Chain A
């Protein structure tokens, strides 16, 4: 990715959207909306001082909502180009309130609140569509209760929980526990604010709050409005301390999730949704189980699936290594349903088809290996570019020309065609750029001929 950012022959138009396409293979005219970042890309050094000072906290979409970011943000630390963007939906200044803290902080003077969207027109010979995929929404499978049970997560969510740069710094905390911790934090913040206010009163009247409260309750200072505020704040503070205590006690017992269940084929190999195999989920479940075990050696993982599709060089060995060294158990059986048991623990019901027995088992966390669903972006882009989609809304290609779309001069690669893993996507990308180069060279040759 860094190479792309540095390459002299590559212009990167990030944070931009294609609005219009005209022309034909070899001579396209593309209108691109370069959305306003409110940050000058060439001035921003990516130091991140602005986002530290920004007062507005927003759920972080890169961490699938599990963590927070600021209204000025970079999508993720290694993103290219290394710059920041102001989210106009949430920025106080852009919403017409008083702020501008980022502009004051930025030594490079890169913040520009007056920036507007720009439309640029570029001439290109060929186009490659690489719009990726969306994670299948598992709440469509009612029986897995993804939205109802907090500790049922998708593999992307678990990936972020395991990531050192994720919301939990790599400790696989359970979402239900994280919610409790967030509640404690919010209550403590509130208690702190009240404590400061109470201290001010204590200094003002040179009296301890408990002594004052007793007198107040006995009916002294009846018409003193200022002291009434003191009494109210003190009572509220005591009430918060009281509620916080049992929650804190409960949180003392929190550990990382140690009993993990991975459920394969969530939305894939399922006639109700996508009948085909997504191909990469078996391997990423094994990978996540191995990493979770590396982080916490007591972790045990159970992978439920009809078969583990470890197709590829070294994949089968990786699977066996996971079983031997990382406490992974593989169970042949698709999970029928997940119910919520005590302590927010998901309870998984399945048939172990090798033993021919129906079992229910409790876990700390369940990770759903969600199918590769066509990206919404792919559908929009395809409509805009006039390329055909297949019946599942992936880009339509021919088996013998797997990176050619139905329109000459427009190529496609990666998960916008079909579910693919990383090495396959990379090789397809190379293939698509070769095909695009062919078109560009041929059109250049034609132009030369015309001149001659």
Chain B
């Protein structure tokens, strides 16, 4: 896409120069050199080449706070995506975090490779090879290798437990999902880091794998995976006759139907928890209430809100495994402090990346609040 196309597609020409984007941006508040407004202004003034070479293009967290609030309806999110795709053609890219291991893992998956993705499936979990529902596990097995207990960069998380928990919950509501060893990374990070070709290769492989399983519905838990399958696969490959649903939407509908029940709670004092809306789940997928309804439906749990909740929630500080900086750490610490200020003992996340990033920030800090995934709480309390 050339600059004019990007400006037209994202309605950047409507920009009022009001500064809402920049003052909403969690990065710009800390790094004055980054400004969404100025990037758009540069594009409108015809300095597209300058943007493509600008290192700040990779500072955007794609958190959609700006896009969500823009009074002129400028689609800044896609502006950044398209600009990055152009920049990538000029061999520009962000600074990879964790020595680039995750970026390498993602690129490896675009190639012909033999995976061992399913070793986490124990005998008590009921999964199928063919069936109506496909559980898209996503990057969890790779995250386990990098960030888990025996990982290369142990930050005290166990990502695969989410996969185990998800299958437990699905089994409980009577679903035996297909899980496949041929599944690949969904391609979210490659796409948003500008590697359109890499994304397309992954997407093609995944679409084939899902279709071969005979599934009609794909269940996602990772919010980024959910949005990639739901929004980006049809965008680049046309409608696929696949219904992409989020686990929480399924569970919300399931509440009160009798299959998903929780242990009674007899303690006098409810356990206070607060919920961190992941950007892709909240602002981008607009799934705000489902996780809250599920949490509120569990006896003995009291949900308290941070001041910045739902559409106002703040990003977990980094995205796409690039440009993790002191700025990211400040965003993460601010968020953890905000969670602690609510008086909650647990911060509930709903995205494996938020879980990793917030736990990473918590490491070596004086933050006490526990960080758990919503599926952990469900499995802990369900009967």
Contacts and interface: CB of A to CB of B under 8 A. Distances in A.
Contacts of B16: 269, 306, 334
Contact of B20 (A336, A352, A357): A336
A334 B310 contact: no
B23 A335 contact: yes
A357 B310 contact: no
B24 A337 contact: yes
Interface string A8-26: 0000000000000000000
Contact of A351 (B14, B22, B71): B22
Contacts of B35: 351, 356
Nearest to B312: A143
B32 A358 contact: yes
Nearest to B31: A358
B383 interface: no
Given A272-B71, A336-B24, A351-B22, A306 B29 contact: no
Contacts of B312: 142-143, 337
B278 to A, nearest CB: 17
A142 B24 CA distance: 13
Interface residues of B, number: 26
A440 B22 CA distance: 57
Interface of A is mostly: strand
A350 interface: yes
Given A269-B71, A337-B24, A358-B22, A353 B307 contact: no
B37 A351 contact: yes
Contacts of B310: 142
A339 interface: yes
Contact of A356 (B32, B72, B311): B32
A311 to B, nearest CB: 18
B73 interface: yes
Contacts of A350: 19, 23
Nearest to B73: A271
Contacts of A142: 310-312
Contacts of A271: 14, 70-73
Interface of B: 14, 16-20, 22-25, 28-29, 32, 35, 37-38, 69-73, 307-308, 310-312
5 contacts: A271-B73, A349-B24, A351-B28, A358-B25, A358-B29
Given A335-B23, A358-B25, 11 more contacts: A143-B312, A269-B16, A269-B71, A271-B71, A271-B73, A349-B24, A351-B19, A351-B22, A356-B35, A358-B22, A358-B32
Q: Which 10 A-B pairs have the closest CB atoms?
A: A351-B19, A334-B18, A336-B23, A270-B71, A271-B73, A351-B23, A336-B24, A333-B19, A351-B22, A353-B19
